[in-house]
Amino acid sequence: MDESLLNLYFQETKEQLDKIEELLLALENDREDNDLVKEIFRHLHTIKGNSGMYGFTEVASIIHKTENIYDQLRKGQINITKEIIDFTLLLKDAILKMLKIEEAPKKAIDEDIKRILEFTKPFQIDDIILDNKSESSEEQQVDAIESTYWIRFKPPKDIYSRGLKPEKILDELKSLGECQIIEHKIKDSIITGDKIQKICLQYWDIIITINDDPGVFKDIFIFVEPISEITIKKIDDILSDENIEYKRLGEILLERGDVTENDIAKVMQHHKRLGESLVELGIIENDLIESALKEQEVVRERRKTRIEQGSQETIRVASDKLDSLVNMVGELVTIQSRIQQTAEECIDSESLSAAEHLGRIVENLRDLTMSVRMLPLSHTYNKFQRLVRDLSHELNKDVDYITQGGEVELDKSILEQINEPLIHLIRNALDHGLESPEERKKAGKNPRGTLCLSARQLGANVILTVQDDGRGMDSEKIRTKAIEKGIISETTELSCDEIFQLIFESGFSSKDTVSSISGRGVGMDAVKKAMDSIGGTVELDCKSKQGTSISLVLPLTLAIIEGMLIKLGHEKYIIPLAVVEECLDFPGSSRDDEKKSAFINVRGELLPYMALNEIFGFKNHGQAQSKYQQVVVVNISGKRIGLVVDEVVGNIQTIIKNLGRLYKDVEGISGASILGDGSVVLIMDVYALYRRSLKQGAEAGIFS
């Protein structure tokens, strides 16, 4: 089998299984939501169909047995239980192992399959049959994809006297999906004695499209099926070949039994249209022709719509190809900057116009390329819901898992690298942070703890926070453990914040015993190393007995940035443009050196500022300083701060380069880049400068 097709099957199956897990966890919180059950059923059916097509018959077989359970659930014959949810999660894990998407020994796989077969055995039922003219029960039971059916419903003439109303059945059919109803013949009334008896001299053709198992028709026709003629035939579904022309009018009429082959042969001698000839010769009523034409119209329109939708669907691209594209666009940004600079130096209007045109094209290409790499955090959030559920059950803790900011997007490569750190943080929050229900009751808290995963964008950074409302951290216990493990000595003096930072040291753990969840001292150390590798930082906020909040400050992307080029002395720096609000001439300041506070008046508002010459050490080192300085106003977390610079050069697109291990801890610098002339320029970490200003201005109350 083609390896690329097989890989595609594995990818699609994993995505389907992940979606099933997400739906199951939602169903656990709302067990009355039948739409979730139906959606799980559809995903199971899709995986089963694909698995059978690719030869994974064992996977298809166990899913088929599971479908029986969800078929009964969606019909209300059984209720959802924790055992069914646990079983389906086991099924999901087992399929991943059976397909070798996740590694596991054969013995473990065999045990999972045995448990699945034992669980499904009581739920196996006989196939449902509507009547001898409908499709096979096997097809009915498993068909849960969007399909179009032709139904002919012929009730008996005395259906009204039996107390049944066919109109009600037609209304129920309409509620299932897009429905076309064609009526044949008409109602009539005849007089028998002193009473008027209403009889039914009509029947109906129904063209209906549903995204459900056709077994639903069984429920609708259940009371009239024994006394009526009912034919159900699938005429189209999403797996149909769109390139094959749909049946002609004669074929449809023949299949329905409305005409015979002799009738067709007879009218073929005429030089008129088939339908017209059949009506003129009295072989068939016009309403039957209209019904067959309506079938043609519905199927053709649905296929046309699917083709149009299919042309807009996404395609899969290998990650290495996407990474190569981003690198090439980064190099293109650099060379475009060089061309722009050269054109400006030549003072040639034609060259300058061409360079500006190229700049607009490169900018659009850059934005488009970067948007392809950006993914929402919501998918990452959903993956951890299962982790929280399983660990909370293992630890016998009641936990509400809350997510915020799922719409925030991050570069694909960053999302991949923060997966493991987030797992460590969540496990620690559940094991170390949140107390047992009994402890929480004694402390006057809600027995059910809260774990919140939130994200917000802050300029060129994303702040991803894992927060719990547990017991917090005990600084004295952390210090004692650090001394026991030789991380610090007994005479080492540390502030409370510095003590909390010890949890990130290699080998540190506050647990007295090692468990399957924690205690080995590798979790928080791994978090710190992961953040260092992508240029991020870790911030910790802890309040005793109120909870712990750990934030990962992440760069928005590792590839390209749009920034503002500024000068300090003879050196150039880049400020991320995402946080810049405006640029002003420096008007002079009101400064209090004793309180280390400084303000400028901006349109009647006192705005705190930082002199970057002082922060980066240019003031007293012989560097040329502009007589007319400027202020770049940035907005951090809703707080406006002025950054005083010697000169604002202008906007620039540039690629981000890592500083390397020697310079990764330099405060206020997040990376470097290369300008068009080949010179190296540093990228400012405005968020770090903001934290510094908070620390220095705390006494003065600048940001209160």
With contact defined as beta carbons under 8 Å apart, do 472 and 432 qualify?
A: no
- Token pair, residue 702, equals 């600048």
Lowest mean pLDDT among 33-37, 47-51, 85-89, 468-472: 47-51
Q: Indicate the range of 20-34, 496-510, 551-565, 673-687 predicted with least confidence.
A: 496-510
Q: Which of 25-34, 199-208, 464-473, 551-560 has the lowest mean pLDDT?
A: 551-560
Contact (CB, 8 A) for 548 and 449: no
Q: Are residues 223 and 89 in the same domain?
A: no
Give 621's pLDDT tier (boundaries 50, 70, 90): very low
Choose the final residue of a domain: 97, 123, 149. 123
- pLDDT bracket for residue 539 (50, 70, 90): confident
Residues 6 or more apart in contact with residue 449 via CB below 8 angstroms: 397, 398, 399, 400, 434, 435, 440, 468, 469, 470
pLDDT > 70 in the chain, percent: 83
- Both 336 and 407 in a single domain? no
Q: Give the pLDDT score at 627.
A: 63
Answer whether residue 453 shows pLDDT above 90. Answer: yes
Looking at the domain assignment, is residue 383 inside a domain? yes
* Spatial separation of the C-alpha atoms in residues 383 and 456, rounded to whole Å: 19
Q: Is residue 199 part of a domain?
A: yes
Rounded mean pLDDT, 69-77:
86
Rounded to 5 degrees, φ, ψ at 521 are 75, 30
Residues 148 and 84 in one domain: no
For residue range 116-175, list pLDDT tens digits in order: 999 988 887 544 333 334 443 434 444 456 789 999 999 998 888 887 888 888 988 888
Give the least confident one: 257-261, 661-665, 671-675.
661-665
Gap between the Cα atoms of 464 and 552, Å rounded: 5
Which residues partner with 120 through β-bridges?
A: none
CA dihedral in degrees (268, 274, 279, 282; nearest 10)? 20
Each residue of 171-198: pLDDT tens digit? 888 888 889 999 988 655 444 444 455 6
Q: Is residue 704 part of a domain?
A: no
Separation CA 534–CA 555 (nearest Å): 8
- pLDDT tens-digit profile of 354-393? 988 998 898 888 888 878 888 888 888 888 888 899 899 8
Structure tokens at 142: 């498993």
List 671's β-bridge partners, or say none: 683
Task: Please give the average per-residue pLDDT across 495-503, as a whole number.
Answer: 76
Contact partners, residue 55, CB within 8 Å, separation at least 6: 1
Grouping H, G, I as helix, E, B as strand and the rest as coil, residue 119 is: helix
656 within some domain? yes
Domain enclosing residue 356, as ranges: 319-375
Q: Which CATH number does the domain housing residue 48 bear?
A: 1.20.120.160
Question: Are 306 and 336 within one domain?
Answer: no
Give CA–CA dist 555/106, Å, rounded: 42
pLDDT of res. 52: 79
How many CA atoms within 13 Å lie on the side-chain side of 676? 18
Q: What is the 3-state secondary structure (H, E, C) of 323-384?
A: HHHHHHHHHHHHHHHHHHHHHHHHCCHHHHHHHHHHHHHHHHHHHHHHHHHEEECHHHHHHH
pLDDT at 17: 92
Q: Are residues 83 and 199 in the same domain?
A: no
Please name the helix (run of DSSP H) or strand (run of DSSP E) that holds residue 597, with its range, or none.
strand 597-602
Residue type at position 342 = T
pLDDT at 685: 82
Q: Give phi and psi for 635, each to the nearest 5.
A: -120, 115
- Structural domain includes residue 464: yes
Residues 399, 538 within the same domain: yes
Asked if 216 and 293 sit in the same domain, the reply is: yes
Amino acid 115: pLDDT: 92
Greatest mean pLDDT range, 535-539, 597-601, 679-683: 679-683
CATH value at residue 498: 3.30.565.10
**Rounded distance between C-alpha atoms, residue 702 and residue 697, angstroms:** 6
Beta-ladder partners of 582: 633
Contact between residue 534 and residue 644 where contact means Cβ atoms under 8 Å apart: no
Q: How many CB atoms lie within 10 A of CB 692?
A: 15
Claim to verify: residue 661 and residue 642 sit in the same structural domain = yes
Structure tokens given for 400: 């509400």
| pLDDT of amino acid 83 | 92
**C-alpha–C-alpha distance, residues 103 and 92, integer Å:** 14
**Model pLDDT for residues 247-297, shown as the tens digit of each residue:** 888 889 998 988 898 888 888 877 778 888 888 888 888 889 999 999 988
Q: Are residues 91 and 48 in the same domain?
A: yes
Quick check: 320 and 229 in contact, CB under 8 A?
no
| 304 and 167 in a common domain | yes
Question: What is the per-residue DSSP string for 425-441?
Answer: HHHHIIIIISPPHHHHH
pLDDT over threshold 50, residue 594: no
Last residue of a domain, one of 258, 288, 310: 310
Q: Find the mean pLDDT for residues 474-494.
A: 80
Q: Amino acid identity, residue 543?
A: K
Q: pLDDT band for position 704 (50/70/90)?
A: very low
Distance CA 470, CA 485 (A): 25
Token pair of 89, please? 């999660």
pLDDT value of position 149: 93
Which of 72, 92, 123 represents a domain boundary (last residue)? Answer: 123
CATH number of the domain to which 339 belongs:
1.10.287
Tell me whether residue 129 is in a domain.
no
Average pLDDT over residues 556-579: 82
> Is residue 226 in a domain?
yes
How is residue 283 annotated by DSSP?
A: S
Using 50, 70 and 90 to split pLDDT, how confident is the model at 403?
very high
Domain match, 214 and 100 both = no
Count the Cβ atoms, other than its own, within 10 Å of residue 597.
19
CATH code assigned at 640: 2.30.30.40
> What is the strand order of the sheet 669-674 is part of?
647-655, 560-568, 571-576, 680-684, 669-674
In a domain, 587, yes or no: yes
What integer pLDDT is reported at residue 152 of this predicted model? Answer: 93
CA distance 316 to 128: 39
Single-letter amino acid, residue 184? H
The mean per-residue pLDDT over the stretch 59-88 comes to: 89
Give the total number of structural domains in the chain: 5
- Supply the pLDDT for residue 151: 94
DSSP designation for 246: P
Task: Report pLDDT for 195.
Answer: 47
pLDDT for position 126: 44
pTM of the model: 0.61
- One domain for residues 518 and 396: yes
List C-alpha distances in Å: 199 to 165, 209, 230, 258, 463. 11, 30, 19, 23, 72
Please, are residues 236 and 164 in contact by the beta-carbon 8 Å criterion?
no
- pLDDT, averaged across the chain: 80
Contacts for 88-92: CB closer than 8 Å, 24+ residues apart: 88/20, 88/24, 88/40, 89/21, 89/24, 89/386, 90/115, 90/116, 91/62, 91/63, 91/66, 91/116, 92/17, 92/20, 92/21, 92/24
